[in-house]
Amino acid sequence: MADMKPKLLIVEDDEGLQAQLKWAYEDFDVTIAGDRASALAALRAEEPAVVTLDLGLPPDPDGTREGFAVLDEIMALKPDTKVIVASGHGARESALQAIERGAYDFYQKPVDIEALGLIVRRAFNLHEIEEENRRLADKVGEDKTVLGGLVTAAPEMAKVARTIERVANTNVSVMLLGASGTGKELLARGLHDASNRRDGEFVAINCAAIPENLLESELFGHEKGAFTGAVKTTEGKIEQAHGGTLFLDEVGDIPLPLQVKLLRFIQERTIERIGGRKQIAVDTRIVCATHQNLEAMIGENQFREDLFYRLAEIVVKIPSLAERPGDATLLAKHFLNRFSEEINPKVKGFAPDALAAIDAWPWPGNVRELENRVKRAVIMAEGKLVAAEDLDLDEDEDETCEALNLKSAREQVDRKVIRHALARSEGNISQSAKLLGISRPTLYDLLKQYDLHA
């Protein structure tokens, strides 16, 4: 269908050139404008993704004033438009100035149709990628979210979420098993929020982070004067969770004597503060998590079997990030959105090579690692797109060592460096060439030679 072609607006006052350019871009839905007014009318009516703009327009055909006015208005009206400006002989200065004011790239007159075609196509590609990034990022907020901020598109994880939603309104104890950073705490919170205890408190205690001698008092509380330093009566976490949910994180780290006491609480549903004499009834839902193998610990008498069965009425295994195809990039976009808003609003998305690197990385630290790396990358990003190198994922260096011969090793390095430069400069040829220390024609040759585009 003709109207499905990508829309290109050509702003050019030379009629001969107008015809020539229109003819050269059969793949696009081309609109031609010869001056400022018709250019802006076309921008509003057609919303083209890409515009080529001759800076010398009437009534100032030999200057740049009119062209810059058009550029400024386009950037104000629709800043995601990719504007490619034409610069006449010796007008490099104005071309660079145009880029500073938001233009995407420039080309030298007289027009080399083939070179300009390449720039135009790259501009469309980049626009499409940015659009896609925005679309996905918008979607992340809506339908991909279940259970209090859980973002996933992986069936394995959706199943976990469904299980949790199904048991939320019962009082069964839930044990969450998963490697570090897989989202155990997030799911425990989600469970609480989905339950009819949501108006009560969600009280989390990390049993591995508290010294053994303090853990008992943290859990059960103490009366004033129960021990040296107990200057006032203090409620324990269990009591605080009355009417709500108690999340015992790293439950495998509870020492054996305390396991006995915890078991007694679960059986009787009452506690006694340290140094106290009265039994206090506590109504709480227990959720626990661990990355340890409790069954093995039971075998070694490190963990009580009777406590295990009380805590693990439902066991939920959380897959690692590597076991959830597609989730790494989805979550990366989600975090990028969040952090760019908070930290660095000019960052709009990922360069294609960054997404490829995210997808390929094994993520040993799971979602927590991903979150940290994206945060750092958003802080470090210099342009609108986060590049692969901003993520600092160490690439496999022996890629180069395994090369067939010196020529192919060089080619691999070339490709890598060029991709980095393109990502860094958001696909801008002039800037990439500058970063690489080569001329634009040389870069075009290399792109052709290596069949690199986006």
Residues 6+ apart with CB under 8 A from 364: none
The residue count for binding ligand ATP (CB under 6 A) is: 17
Rounded to the nearest angstrom, the gap between the alpha carbon of residue 136 and the centroid of all alpha carbons in its chain is 10
- Regarding 186 and contact with ligand ATP (CB under 6 A), the answer is yes
In the bound complex, what is the minimum distance in angstroms from residue 149's beta carbon to ligand ATP?
Answer: 5
CB closer to ligand ATP, 368 vs 384: 368
- Locate 84 and state its tokens: 């490619």
Interactions with Mg ion, residue window 190-249 (CB under 5 A): none
Cβ-count burial of 235 within 10 angstroms (0-12 exposed, 13-18 middle, 19+ buried)?
middle
Task: Quote the distance between the C-alpha of residue 236 and its chain's center.
Answer: 38
DSSP-derived 3-state class of residue 397: coil
What number of other Cβ atoms are within 10 A of residue 71's Cβ?
24
Q: Are strands 280-281 and 270-271 parallel, antiparallel or unpaired?
A: antiparallel
User: Toward ligand ATP, which CB reaches closer, 52 or 320?
Assistant: 320
> Considering only residues 146-185, where is the footprint of Mg ion by CB under 5 A?
185
Choose which of 52, 64, 173, 182 interacts with ligand ATP (CB under 6 A). Answer: 182
CB 179, min distance to ligand ATP, A: 7
Shortest reach from residue 294's CB to Mg ion, in Å: 16
> Would you count residue 150 as binding ligand ATP (CB under 6 A)?
yes
How far CA 377 is from CA of 122, 182, 347, 349, 385, in Å, comes to 24, 21, 10, 11, 10
Nearer to ligand ATP, 146 or 354 (CB): 146
- Between 178 and 427, whose beta carbon lies closer to ligand ATP? 178
Closest contact distance (angstroms) between CB of 210 and ligand ATP is 14
Binding-site size for Mg ion (CB under 5 A) equals 1
**Of 96, 117, 121, 118, nearest in space to 106 by CA:** 96
- With CB under 6 A as the contact rule, the residue among 149, 225, 243, 441 that binds ligand ATP is 149
CB of 349 to Mg ion, least distance (A): 29
Q: Phi/psi at 50 (nearest 5 deg)?
A: -130, 140
Q: At what angle do helices 212-220 and 256-268 cross, to 10 degrees?
A: 10
For ligand ATP, the binding residue among 122, 127, 184, 419 (CB under 6 A) is: 184
Site string for ligand ATP, 241-280 (x = CB under 6 A): ----------------------------------------
Q: Which of 7, 368, 416, 440 binds ligand ATP (CB under 6 A)?
A: 368
Residues in 412-441 that interact with ligand ATP by CB under 6 A: none
Q: How far is the CB of 184 from ligand ATP (least distance, A)?
A: 3
316 binds, among ligand ATP, Mg ion, none (CB under 5 to 8 A by kind): none
**Closest residue to ligand ATP using C-beta atoms:** 183
Q: How far is the CB of 178 from ligand ATP (least distance, A)?
A: 5
Q: What are phi and psi of 423, to 5 degrees?
A: -65, -45
- For residue 364, say if its preceding peptide bond is cis, omega within 30 degrees of 0: no
Kindly indicate which of the ranges 38-46, 90-98, 144-152, 271-279 contains the residues binding ligand ATP, using the contact rule CB under 6 A: 144-152
* Minimum distance from residue 185 beta carbon to ligand ATP (Å): 4
Q: Which runs of consecutive H residues, i.e. helices, occur in 142-251?
A: 155-168, 184-194, 212-220, 237-240
Give me the residues paired with residue 213 across strands. Answer: none
- 145, 234, 243, 263 from 281: Cα distances, Å: 36, 16, 11, 15
Which residues contact ligand ATP (rule: CB under 6 A)? 149-152, 178, 180-186, 291, 331, 367-368, 371
